[in-house]
Each structure stands twice: as C-alpha cells, then as structure tokens.
Amino acid sequence: MQQNALPKWYFEVFERYREILQQKEALYLALSAGVDSNTLLHWLYTFRSELPPIYTIHVNHNWHDNYSHLWANFARQRAEFYGFTHYHYEAFFDLEETSGLEAAGREMRYIKFGETMKPNSLLCVAHHRSDQAETLMQRLLRSSGTRGLGAMRDFNTVQFGQYQIDLFRPFLSISKKSLYEAAIALNLPWLEDYTNHEADDMERNIIRNDLFKRMETPFPQYEEAFYQVTQFMQEADDLLLELAAIDLAKIAHNTTTEGEETPPLHLPSLKKLSHARQKNLLQAWIRPYNLIFSQRQLTEFIRVFIEEMPTHQTRFELAPYLILYFQDYLYLQRKSQERSLFQSFQLIPSNNAPSHDYWQQFSTEDLQLVKRQGGERFHPLYRERSQQLKKLLQEAKIPVWERDNCWLLKIRESGEILWINHLGFAKSLENEIKEEGLAPALIAAIPASDNSSSK
C-alpha cells in the first residue's frame, strides 16, 4: 500500500494521539465485520511500527444464527491477514428473554475484554462522528446537562464487573461517509451488518433514519457542528469539575471512616456557596460512583437539606445509595440491604500496629470476628479506662447507621476484645504496638451471582 493512497486524516488522527498511545503496553481492537472497525484495523496496521503490540478481540453473541458465525469468521480472517493475534469468544443467551438482552450482551462483551487485556492498555473502538451526533441528539432529547452533552470522549474509563477498561475512540472526529470513502479507496473488505438498520434502539433509529435524513439537505454540515458542540461541552464539564474540586477541598471532611463511600460534606459550608456552585459540587461529589442527580432529584435534595433543616433520620435515596445527615455532615452510603457483610479478616502491613511475632501466637481458630450485639465494653488504646462501646462510638462521632456496622476481633476462648474496626486496638496491646506491624482488614462477603455462559 502506497502512503500517498492513504487519506490525509489518517496522519492527522495519528499525530493527535501518538504520544499517549506510545505510553501504553498494548492496544486491543474490538473488531467486528463492519466498515468502521475494519477501517480502524487498517489504521492501526498502518502505524504499527510506532505503536505498542496490537491485538484484536471478537465476542460472538450467537444472536443472528449463521450471520453471527459469518461475521465472527470474517473478523478473525481480517486480523490474521494483518498478522495480529486474535481473541475469539463465544457467548450464549436465552434469546426468548429479549428484555435486557442488549445490556447483557454489552456486559458480557466488556467482561471478556477486561479478562483479556493487559494492564496499562487501551481498548480501541470505532465510534465515529456520525455516532457522536446521534448520541448528542439523544442526550438533548433527554434534557441532559453539561456532562451528558459532552457525549462520548476520545478517552474514558468504563467499569464492568471487576474490570476497569480504558477506552480509546480515535475516529470521533471522522464522519461515517469518510470511513466508507477511505475503505473503498483502499480496497478494504467489510461485511454490512443488517442489524444496524433494525429498530432495537428505537430512539437512535428515529434519529438516524428520520431526523438526520431530514437535516442532510438544509444543514449539510450538521455533523461537524454537533461534534464541535460536544467538544465545547467537554471543556465546560472539565472546568466545572475543576471548580467542584476547589469547593470540595474546602467543605469535604478530609478523612473517611470505615464504611464511608466518599468524604462527608460539611453542610453549613455547603449552604454558603451560591446555588449554582451547590449543584455543581453535589454532582461532582457523587460522580465517582457513576451517579447523577436528575433535575427533579436535585431540586428535591436542595429543598430537604439546604432550604430546610435535616435531622439524623433524614434519608435521600439515590439508588443504590442513600445520602444521610449526621452532626452537620452529609454522608453517601450504600443502601443497608445492599452493603456487604464482613465474614472474615486478614492481617495487612500497617504502621503503629502489633508485630508479626505477636499475631503468630494465634491460630485461625483462636481469633473470632463478631458483629456488635450491644452492651459490650471496650478499653481503647487511647483511653485510660474501659467504657461502654455505645458511649465510645458516640464520642467518636460515628454516624448512627454505622454503629450497627461495628465489628469486634476477639480471642475466642477468653472473649477479650483486641480490635474494633471503628476504634482501633485495645489498651491491652499497648506494649505490642510497633512502628511497623500488622493490622486487621475486613474482607467483604461476595454475594453469589449468575453469569451468562461463555465458551
């Protein structure tokens, strides 16, 4: 292939991302049989000498009988043609249960990606400017805010199961038409996926085949304009996050206790911010947990916690989380019925903890982890006398809902309490504490779950 036959945008896109890509250990391409991912396959092949190792992955969902195998075989053949190591997975679903099938397939697909990928690698996906325009229109129709109107980013991270997967979308600035033109000019083979024209996603189907078809003639540059809007919105969202970080540094509690999901917010300080900064900070506070307030939820939250005076019984549900109030602070917690129970513990290196030699005197059966029952007394390392555990938890300002999440490590035979997750070590261990030692860490119970079969 002669370089002068390559589209100009091949080189422009590569130069835009070269430095970031060269810092990665590997690149993986989510490869299908379509023109989008096969053009991306060729783009990666073109610059392979300047990139980390490249691999391809295809997950066959077996949703379309022989077509599924045709597309899967084609993807494997194209990867092998370019000399890339190809990973192929088979997934099977109950096709009679159509509800949630698309989401289940997506989750299975990304879990397989996560299982395959090396650390410090990227998953390359072939979303393009036409996809971005559809996403923006869909978000507009759903009254999304700044974050949503930024649509897809060229780099972002998604979480599926235990896997955090870093995505890379190099073609977001390139139109579908340009991809077709490049593939034809370069004689790249592909297979059309007729399912792209089905109405599985009714909103996108209407946007693509009705709204955008009507816009093509009077507004031929609409895709480019939509893309620019997403870039403006992404920049605005980044600036809002920077502002929220400044505000969070001032009003978030600088430490977290056992069981807290994110630092508590000091409510009196939050009330001093302008209305706009309050809303911006609250959205940023819950964002790490893939949560977002709808406009209705945010209005109700401000009424309950800002405009009125909450009590220790005030609850605000943001499924699967709750926002709770205790002694001037707001806490974000998982709903109690969904929070993990702790069934065991392990000893991990820790500063100012009993030595390894101290713990060696106990066998696994000698120590017992039990949940607080009520009526216990404890003598903390920092106190001169023992006291009722209830009083100690109150003095430590442990929120009411966390006092039931209190776990005691005891010597089974004598019943002596050695450690409590909210209060630390007992006074009896004072002479055993070393600068470098071992401290208990609770191990959460993992609920059993059903997984879709895969071969």
What's the Cα-to-Cα distance from 44 to each of 29, 47, 119, 172, rounded to whole Å?
A: 9, 6, 20, 15
- Report helix, strand or coil for 327: coil
**Which pair of structure tokens corresponds to residue 117?**
């990928």
Taking the domains of the chain in order of start, what are their residue ranges?
8-225, 252-334, 342-444
CATH number at 252-334? 1.20.59.20
User: What is the distance between the alpha carbons of residues 21 and 117, in angstroms, rounded to a whole number?
Assistant: 15
Equal fold, 8-225 vs 252-334: no
CA atoms within 13 A on the CB side of 430: 8
Record the pTM. Answer: 0.75
**Which pair of structure tokens corresponds to residue 325?**
């109030």
How long a stretch of residues is the chain?
A: 455
How far, in whole angstroms, is CA 180 from its chain's centroid? 33
Q: What secondary structure does DSSP assign to 225-240, as a single string?
A: HHHHHHHHHHHHHHHH
User: What is the distance between the alpha carbons of residues 58 and 87, in angstroms, rounded to a whole number?
Assistant: 6
What's the Cα-to-Cα distance from 154 to each of 47, 172, 182, 233, rounded to whole Å?
A: 18, 7, 21, 14
User: What is the distance between the alpha carbons of residues 83 and 100, in angstroms, rounded to a whole number?
Assistant: 36
Strand partners, 354: 433
User: What is the distance between the alpha carbons of residues 344 and 72, in angstroms, rounded to a whole number?
Assistant: 44
- Report helix, strand or coil for 73: helix
Tell me the CATH number of domain 8-225, given options 3.30.1020.10, 3.20.20.140, 1.10.10.10, 3.40.50.620. Answer: 3.40.50.620
Residues 6+ apart with CB under 8 A from 140: 149
Angle between helices 65-81 and 35-46 (to 10 degrees): 10
In tens digits, the chain (455 residues) has pLDDT values of: 444 489 999 999 999 999 999 999 999 999 999 999 999 999 999 999 999 999 999 999 888 778 889 999 999 999 999 999 999 999 887 766 655 777 888 899 999 999 999 999 999 999 999 999 999 999 999 989 999 999 999 999 999 988 999 999 999 999 999 999 999 999 999 998 655 544 456 788 889 889 999 999 999 999 999 999 999 999 999 999 999 999 999 999 865 554 455 899 999 999 999 999 999 999 999 998 889 999 899 999 999 999 999 998 898 999 889 999 998 999 998 876 444 455 688 999 999 999 999 999 999 899 999 989 889 999 999 889 999 999 999 898 888 878 878 899 999 999 999 999 999 999 999 999 999 999 999 887 654 443 433 33
Let me know: does 253 contact 399? Beta carbons within 8 Å. Answer: no
